[in-house]
Amino acid sequence: MKVLLAEDDAVTREAVTRLLEDEGFRVVSSQHGGEAWEAWMSEGAELVLLDIMMPELSGYEVCRRIRQVDRQVPVVFLSAKSEEIDVVLGLELGADEFIRKPFGGRELLARVNAVLRRTRSGATESFEVGPWRVFPKSLRAEGPHAVELSLREVKLLQLLYSRRGEVVSRDEILNVCWGLEYYPESRTLDQHVLNLRKKLEPEPAHPQWLLTVRGAGYRMP
């Protein structure tokens, strides 16, 4: 599997490259965002690892450009920027994971493998949420207008749809949508639900299909 790694710190770049190559990945490394974007356009990749603060183009900008042409390739941020706003921005741009520096080799491999398992898992056929028809394979919903969805947003919708009428606990949602290896901050789940409401609910402040059950989890009628 080919991995595109963009990291401007030479020590970190070389260490991550060796770690991934020892696990059988083929790594194409870049030392700044402009080089990473050129490598993506010329060679592509099956997994993208991005630092955020880089010369020429930031990791955010590289992610944004990649998502304009490919909605499914897994994108992971590796960054010392760890404020909640940094994480939220990365997720809103379409990243599948955000790994805070410093990180250990075993942690990195566990997170990467978890992302790959999630993104490789089979998508169900299209299904309806209110006036929307959700198409998991193309990461979109069609209804009053077309809406693009992130992979994790689709997984969240699939889970709630499969359990319609039931309360799905926060722990179960985190297990299914993020994986047992990694529990994000509780605000991350809430932010994903908020983003989905903004995309799909006619009145996000008064949701009809993505309902909060206080102290328990979420429910889809």
Among 120, 147, 172, the domain-final residue is 120
Same domain, 103 and 32: yes
3-state secondary structure of 40: helix
For residue 73, give the CATH number of its domain: 3.40.50.2300
- Whether the predicted pLDDT of 138 surpasses 90: no
- Whether the predicted pLDDT of 115 surpasses 70: yes
Cite the beta strand spans of the chain per DSSP E. Answer: 2-6, 26-30, 47-50, 75-79, 97-100, 127-129, 132-135, 140-142, 146-148, 167-169, 211-213, 217-219
Q: Number of folded domains in the chain?
A: 2
Q: How many Å apart are CA 195 and CA 99, to the nearest integer?
A: 21
pLDDT confidence bin for 152, thresholds 50/70/90? confident
6 HSE (CA, 13 A, CB side): 30
| CB neighbour class for 144 (10 Å; exposed up to 12, middle 13-18, buried from 19) | exposed
Same domain, 15 and 84: yes
Q: Which amino acid is at 171?
A: D
pLDDT confidence bin for 72, thresholds 50/70/90? confident
105-120 vs 151-162: helix axis angle to the nearest 10? 60
Among 79, 105, 120, the domain-final residue is 120
Same domain, 6 and 108: yes
Task: Determine how many CB atoms are found less than 10 A away from the CB of residue 159.
Answer: 17
Same domain, 105 and 209: no
For residue 142, give the CATH number of its domain: 1.10.10.10
Same domain, 49 and 69: yes
151-162 vs 170-178: helix axis angle to the nearest 10? 130
Supply the pLDDT for residue 121. 55
Same domain, 210 and 114: no
Q: How many Å apart are CA 136 and CA 149, to the nearest integer?
A: 9
Same domain, 166 and 210: yes
- Give the range of the structural domain holding residue 137, as residue numbers without chain letter: 127-219
Same domain, 112 and 175: no
Same domain, 14 and 107: yes
Q: Each residue of 6-31: pLDDT tens digit?
A: 999 999 999 999 999 988 889 999 99
Q: Each residue of 172-199: pLDDT tens digit?
A: 888 777 764 455 566 788 888 999 999 9
Among 120, 141, 165, the domain-final residue is 120
pLDDT confidence bin for 211, thresholds 50/70/90? very high
Same domain, 106 and 194: no
Same domain, 21 and 84: yes
